[in-house]
């Protein structure tokens, strides 16, 4: 059956009785908290959404952390083993915010139990992992969502509309950057993020996965790429206890960093455009410096995550000496109207996760045969094959065509 297209916004469900969706979160570090906060705020911003999630179980092997989270978010049940969530017949949907190396096992188990899945990127350690979860979800017939939150920014939605409408002409070349300093300190704890068998390909999965999704969302398919990577901090101190976020662990025994601190890639797009994607987790002086600039035959559009509600746009017929102006996005762009009444009122990272949660629930509540809303597991596979192509390019020293993402 052909799928009916829907927009990247709230699904109209006002003609149905609102129901509650029992959900669980597996893994309650920083990202688990972000999911819990998003679930708690959905009713505030999407009062007509159906179904409305109810956080019912938190699973985390650190029992004190789970208990504290349950008290804060008024969650009745905590468990230390994620398998108890999978076996719980009352849970309809699950957020998986555990470390990367657990994504495939947990994700496949969740969808295999017939539960809808909201899972954080990059979905495992490789494209094979992401594809395994995607295949299992397709067989189970459940809905999925993936944490590519930057495509949820209203300004990014506005940029896409400008590009599709031809406001900057045919795209010629673009640059995407994702620079952060979260791992720039040499005493940053040697957590799972820096281990190949637990954190995968380092900054590729952590930040470049977002970049790969944004490149596709705004520019379309990648024909081929060539990449380079580097490890700039080869050793870090081992932590003495459970870690959350990006903690320091000075004074302890040091161990090797096994995955990438930095990646850059040149891309040839299927459209004929050229693109550069660059990501670093050790950029001193850069805090969440994410953004893009996209040039076309008649204009340019630029966006900086740190000025989330702004777009720089230059368009017209001047070509040479074309002026560029700054515009504030407003209620007409993406899901902005669900949060603010007028342009120039700022939104936040947490708002993007609320949008993500709402699109997940809207997809679950949509009639059979209607396409899901927002990023799904198929988008995770598409991003992962790009990352795998980067790794292959580095190893072989040549241009590589990403594999087809179809599942």
The answer, yes or no, to whether the previous bond of 167 is cis (omega within 30 of 0) is no
pLDDT of residue 243: 59
Listing DSSP states for 265-327 in one string gives EEEEETTS-EEEEEEES--TT-SSEEEEEEEESSEEEEEEGGGTTEEEEEESS--TT---EEE
The reply to whether 13 falls in a domain is no
At residue 326, what are phi and psi to the nearest 5 degrees?
A: -100, 135
125 and 208 co-located in one domain: no
Domain C-terminal end among 117, 149, 181? 149
> Which CATH number goes with the domain that contains 210?
3.30.360.10
Nearest to 175, CA basis, from 311, 312, 278: 278
189 part of a folded domain: yes
Domain membership flag for residue 14? no
Domain membership flag for residue 406: no
The low-confidence residues of the chain, meaning pLDDT below 70, are 1-16, 241-245, 407
140 lies in the same domain as 71: yes
One domain for residues 201 and 163: yes
Looking at the structure, do residues 80 and 145 belong to the same domain, yes or no?
A: yes
Q: How many domains does the chain have?
A: 2
Residue carrying structure tokens 């597996």: 26
pLDDT tens, position by position, 379-397: 999 999 999 999 999 999 9
Tokens matching residue 46: 């999407």
Instruction: For residue 2, tell me if it sits in a domain.
Output: no
- Whichever domain contains 132, its CATH number is 3.40.50.720
Please check whether residues 198 and 142 belong to one and the same domain.
Answer: no
Q: Taking every pair of C-alpha atoms in the chain, what is the biggest distance, in angstroms?
A: 64
Residues 6+ apart with CB under 8 A from 126: 200, 201, 384, 388
Domain boundary among 119, 149, 179: 149
123 touches 103 (CB < 8 A): yes
pLDDT tens-place string over residues 265-310: 999 999 999 999 999 999 999 999 999 999 999 999 999 999 999 9
Query: Is the separation of the CB atoms in 402 and 385 below 8 Å?
Result: yes
Length of the chain: 407
For residues 179 and 130, state if they share a domain.
Answer: no
Can you give the pLDDT at residue 242?
59
Rounded to an integer, what distance in angstroms lies between the CA atom of residue 143 and that of residue 23? 13
Q: State whether 243 and 392 are in the same domain.
A: yes
- Quick check: is 241 in a domain? yes
Statement to judge: residues 320 and 172 lie in one domain: yes
Helix (H, G, I), strand (E, B), or coil: what is residue 6? coil
Which among 134, 257, 281, 152 is positioned nearest to 206, based on CA atoms?
281
**Residues 73 and 35: beta-carbon distance below 8 Å:** no
Domain-located, residue 366? no
In a domain, 405, yes or no: no
149, 178, 207 - which closes a domain: 149
Q: Do 135 and 32 share a structural domain?
A: yes
Q: Are residue 242 and residue 161 in the same domain, yes or no?
A: yes
Please give the Cα distance from 15 to 101 (Å, whole number): 42
315 and 329 assigned to the same domain: yes
Same-domain check for residues 139 and 189: no
Provide the residue range defining the domain that includes 64: 20-149
């Amino acid at each position: 059956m052909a799928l009916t297209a829907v927009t990247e916004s709230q699904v109209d469900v006002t003609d149905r009785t609102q129901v509650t969706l029992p959900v669980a979160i597996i893994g309650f570090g920083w990202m688990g908290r972000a999911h819990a906060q998003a679930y708690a705020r959905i009713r505030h911003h999407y009062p007509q959404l159906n179904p409305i999630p109810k956080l019912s179980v938190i699973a985390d092997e650190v029992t004190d952390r789970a208990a504290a989270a349950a008290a804060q978010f008024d969650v009745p049940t905590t468990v230390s083993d994620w398998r108890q969530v999978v076996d719980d017949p009352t849970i309809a949907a699950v957020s998986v915010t555990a470390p990367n190396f657990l994504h495939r096992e947990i994700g496949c188990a969740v969808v295999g139990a017939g539960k809808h899945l909201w899972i954080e990127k990059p979905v495992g350690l490789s494209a094979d992992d992401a594809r395994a979860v995607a295949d299992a979800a397709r067989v189970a017939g459940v809905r999925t969502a993936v944490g590519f939150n930057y495509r949820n920014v209203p300004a990014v939605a506005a940029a896409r509309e400008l590009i599709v409408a031809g406001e900057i002409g045919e795209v010629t070349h673009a640059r995407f950057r994702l620079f952060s300093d979260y791992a720039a300190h040499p005493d940053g704890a040697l957590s799972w993020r820096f281990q190949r068998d637990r954190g995968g390909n380092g900054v590729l999965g952590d930040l470049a996965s977002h970049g790969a999704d944004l490149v596709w969302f705004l520019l379309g398919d990648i024909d081929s790429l060539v990449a380079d990577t580097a490890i700039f901090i080869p050793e870090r101190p081992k932590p003495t206890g459970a870690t959350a976020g990006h903690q320091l662990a000075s004074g302890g025994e040091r161990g090797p960093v096994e995955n990438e601190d930095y990646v850059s890639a040149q891309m040839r797009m299927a459209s004929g455009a050229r693109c550069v994607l660059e990501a670093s987790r050790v950029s001193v002086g850069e805090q969440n410096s994410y953004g893009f600039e996209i040039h076309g035959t008649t204009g340019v559009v630029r966006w900086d995550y740190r000025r989330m509600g702004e777009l720089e746009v230059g368009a017209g017929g001047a070509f040479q000496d074309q002026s560029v102006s700054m515009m504030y996005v407003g209620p007409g762009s993406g899901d902005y109207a669900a949060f603010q009444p007028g342009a120039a009122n700022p939104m936040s990272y947490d708002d993007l996760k609320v949008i993500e949660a709402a699109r997940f629930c809207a997809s679950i509540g949509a009639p059979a045969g209607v396409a899901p809303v927002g990023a799904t597991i198929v988008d995770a596979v598409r991003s992962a094959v790009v990352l795998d192509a980067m790794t292959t390019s580095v190893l072989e020293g040549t241009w590589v065509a990403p594999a087809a993402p179809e599942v």
